[in-house]
Amino acid sequence: MPRVAAVRTQRVRVPLHTPFVTALRRTEFAETVVVTVEDSDGRVGWGEAPQVWRVTGDSLAGSAAALEGPISDVLVGAAADLSLAGLIQQAVVGNRSAKMAADIALHDLVARRAGVSMAEHLNVLVSTRLRLEAPAAQPTPSPRWLSPTSASEPVSKPTQLLTDMTLSVGTPADLAEAAAARAQDGFATLKIKVGTDAAGDAERVLAVREAAPGCVLRLDANTGWRADEAVAVLRTLADQDVELEFVEQPVARRDLEAMAYVRRNQPYRILADESVFDLEDLVDVIRAGAADAVNVKLAKCGGITPAIELLEVAKRHGLGRLVGCMMESHLGIGAAAALVAATDIPGEQDLDAGWWARTSPYAGGISYDGPRILFPDQPGLGIEGVLP
């Protein structure tokens, strides 16, 4: 068995073609730490640790220090197999972006050694896990994005995956213009960022509906509303017969009582995002009856390995599952997209971050064609290097 020979990091700054604005932040760049894990046979696995100060608290300097220090300490010299996945999670407290990077790189390395795509590798892993467990009771039929998976049967090698498109915080006119343009680009599902101004949020949503009447709409408040504001906005939209697939994270992360109140007092489905970083968070959300579904992101939970567990537990408890992203590069999006393909989660996912980049910073890897994320034909993530 080859052993891990080296762990190397470099910082990558990816300019965006359009500023990305939410209730929590505004950015014109995707900034990340790219890590490579090399084995004694010279194979290299790739991962990334995005900097997301306002959500995870992880910084470029902190992620690099964790990867070059305690995480490297547990990897270098050890057998380059998936037994290292648990050691990565235990190597350091917090630092989930760094754990994400190392975990993705490990899976990429194993997939490359097997000569299969990341999605094929993960499908085998997920299928094996499910076969070792008792069958879960099937939840009642639900909308497309809530539908249960049947990942116990391998899927064919995927070629593409559909994503939604996020509309940044802005005026009703700004949002209407962006919505019309994205619909013209072929996006069938739009996620509207709200939460900065509750008094005007209903008007923003109505403007998007008028500008893109054929699109499925999702809302994301990024913790920006109080419970009473959320209920007022959503009841106003319901009175206007606005159809919403879900409303994401309407209130503060830790205020599950408020989120449960919102869920009970308006008609739309509630999706937990910032409220769920790890398994303990997910259990708290389930016990509180605070959400109908969960948005699992690799940077929040620490990589593919813990994400698989979160998705499985959510499914067992009848929660819908969405796989999302931070403002990541094509590398992290490729890993998240492969996870979706492996677990066969239906519907448009929330993986548009790479679309915002002017160009991909990598040789190889995924690419975008409108709402379609196109998988590479090479083993693993298909990334061969960082472009100059």
Catalytic residue annotation: 193, 297
- Nearest Cα neighbor of 49 from 80, 8, 21, 6 is 8
Strands (E), 293-382: 293-297, 320-324, 362-364, 367-369, 372-374
| Segment (H or E) for 386 | strand 383-386
CB 358 within 8 Å of CB 173: no
255-261-266-271 Cα dihedral, nearest 10 degrees? 40
Q: Dihedral of CA 358/23/345/133: which sign? A: positive
What is the full DSSP assignment across 320-333?
EEEEE--S--HHHH
Burial class of residue 372 (count of CB atoms within 10 Å of its CB; 0-12, 13-18, 19+) = middle
- Nearest Cα neighbor of 9 from 40, 43, 47 is 47
Computed over its alpha carbons, how large is the radius of gyration of the chain? 20
| Segment (H or E) for 160 | strand 160-162
DSSP symbol at 23: S
